[in-house]
Each structure stands twice: as structure tokens, then as C-alpha cells.
């Protein structure tokens, strides 16, 4: 919503936000100035783009409330983890539903997000481009040729910010254990991570090369890397990402 309005992809009078929570509706109305309702049928009947942002395990019950209203001239954008386009299309048997599946991430909130996209079998090229424009407004997008890869996108970039935050939490805790105040450790850790991310983006060097540039033989970074290798940190992180990927697949069944 931030990106779409900031980049004027849509104006506020062209958006309807639905939510069963009155508190959430108030947030959208006050912060963004858009129309809000708890009536999904009204929103769907008055829209050309329907964005499904519900829990995967709840989506069939939610969609059942307005499925009969979906039209040929509408496109459906789903940001539900694990739910394949075919499962969404099946909820609208009276039309060839034009579905684009998207997996964004939390950094969309600050205009630095990442989203993977896949077109369903009835989606048109214009639908995909329209979905890209919506999510490009808050970051970057990547179009996938095979839907099976969406689970990997979910695990790598959708869930990715949580890994990064967890790692930063750990660095902060270690800094405090070494004698820094919480404020000092937080500033040092977050700025170090911010700078490292910018270097990956701007230098175009792969992370392995950048890591080697920081690591001097026999130095402090080498000691840290050796400790991580002894404890199989690399393998444990890979296992965690694979677990997220597997869970995404499970949600689709």
C-alpha cells in the first residue's frame, strides 16, 4: 500500500481494503485514506484487481463467500504462501480465473522489498505486467517460469528477513556479552549489516568474495569463521531454509 500510493500506481480513491478487524480497518482508513469495509462481496463486486492476502489455511472459507462474483474481466493476485494457482483457479469454476501468484516480503514496507511472481494458466501478459508494476512500486520483482520454484522464493526472500533479523539479534546479544551497552551493540550491529547489504548490491561481488575481502589470515574475522565452520553454522542455516521451503509446500496441500 505504501509503495502503490507513493509511486501513484493507484490513487487512494481506487482502493478498497477489507478486513474482519475493525482496528485494522481504522489503520488503513487513517494512514492511507482508502475505503475500508468488512464486506468482501462489496469489495470484489467493485474491483478489477482482487488481492488475496489471507492465511493459506483459511483461503477456501474466505473465497467461498464471494466466489460467484468473480468475473472474466478481473485478475486475482495471491500473496498466500504455498497455495498453487490451480488451487485458486479451482475455486471459481464458472470462469477461467486470471490468477497471478506473488510472494513478497516485509521490506516492501520501506520500498526495499523483493517479490517472486508466477502467472496462472489463464493469466494474460498484461495481468503479469500489472502485478509487477504493483510490487515494483515497493521494491523489485522476479518472474518465475516454473511454479514449483515459488516455495523456494518463499523460503529465501519471503522468510529471508526473519533470518537476517535473528542473526542481528545474535550479534547484538554477543556485543552486550562483550561489554557493550544495548544501544551501542544495536547501532554497531545494524549499521554493519546495512553496510554489508549495500556492498552486495552496489559492488556486484558475490557474498563469498566480499567475505574473503574482510577475512585476513589469522585475524579476528578468521577466528569467527573458523568457529562457525566447526559448529556447522552454514549447514544449519541451509537446513532452516529448506524447512521453510518444505512448510510452504505443505501449506499448499
pLDDT digits over 43-85, tens only? Answer: 999 999 999 999 988 999 999 999 999 999 999 999 998 899 9
Residue at a domain's end among 118, 153, 188? 153
Nearest CA to 128 out of 116, 113, 114, 146 is that of 116
Pair (164, 144) in one structural domain: no
Query: What is the residue-averaged pLDDT of the chain?
Result: 94
Residue 204 has pLDDT above 90, yes or no: no
Nearest CA to 4 out of 18, 21, 20, 16 is that of 16
Pair (146, 236) in one structural domain: no
Pair (144, 193) in one structural domain: no
Nearest CA to 100 out of 82, 121, 114, 81 is that of 121
145-167 residue pLDDT tens: 999 999 999 999 999 999 999 99
pLDDT confidence of residue 173: 97
Could you tell me if 135 and 1 are in contact, meaning their C-beta atoms sit under 8 angstroms apart? no
CATH number at 197 reads: 1.10.3730.10
pLDDT confidence of residue 81: 87
Pair (50, 96) in one structural domain: yes
Name the residue range of residue 220's domain: 160-251
Could you tell me if 105 and 161 are in contact, meaning their C-beta atoms sit under 8 angstroms apart? yes
Amino acid at each position: 500500500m505504501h509503495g502503490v500510493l507513493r509511486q501513484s500506481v493507484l490513487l487512494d480513491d481506487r482502493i478498497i481494503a477489507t478486513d474482519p478487524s475493525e482496528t485494522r480497518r481504522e489503520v488503513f482508513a487513517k494512514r492511507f485514506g482508502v475505503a475500508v469495509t468488512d464486506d468482501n462481496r462489496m469489495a470484489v463486486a467493485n474491483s478489477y484487481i482482487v488481492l488475496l492476502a489471507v492465511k493459506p489455511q483459511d483461503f477456501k472459507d474466505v473465497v467461498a463467500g464471494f466466489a460467484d462474483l468473480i468475473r472474466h474481466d478481473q485478475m486475482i493476485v495471491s500473496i498466500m504462501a504455498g497455495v498453487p494457482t490451480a488451487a485458486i483457479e479451482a475455486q471459481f469454476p464458472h470462469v477461467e480465473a486470471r490468477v497471478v501468484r506473488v510472494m513478497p516480503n516485509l521490506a516492501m514496507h520501506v520500498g526495499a522489498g523483493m517479490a517472486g511472481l508466477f502467472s496462472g494458466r489463464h493469466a494474460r501478459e498484461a495481468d503479469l505486467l500489472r502485478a509487477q508494476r504493483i510490487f515494483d512500486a515497493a521494491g523489485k520483482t522476479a518472474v518465475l517460469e516454473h511454479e514449483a520454484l515459488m516455495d523456494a522464493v518463499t523460503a529465501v526472500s519471503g522468510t529471508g528477513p526473519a533470518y537476517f533479523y535473528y542473526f542481528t539479534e545474535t550479534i547484538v546479544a554477543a556485543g552486550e556479552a562483550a561489554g557493550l551497552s544495548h544501544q551501542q551493540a544495536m547501532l554497531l550491529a545494524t549499521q554493519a549489516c546495512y553496510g554489508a547489504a549495500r556492498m552486495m548490491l552496489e559492488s556486484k561481488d558475490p557474498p563469498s568474495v566480499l567475505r574473503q575481502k574482510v577475512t585476513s589470515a589469522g585475524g579476528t574475522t578468521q577466528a569467527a569463521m573458523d568457529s562457525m565452520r566447526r559448529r556447522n553454522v552454514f549447514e544449519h542455516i541451509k537446513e532452516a531454509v529448506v524447512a521453510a521451503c518444505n512448510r510452504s509446500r505443505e501449506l499448499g496441500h
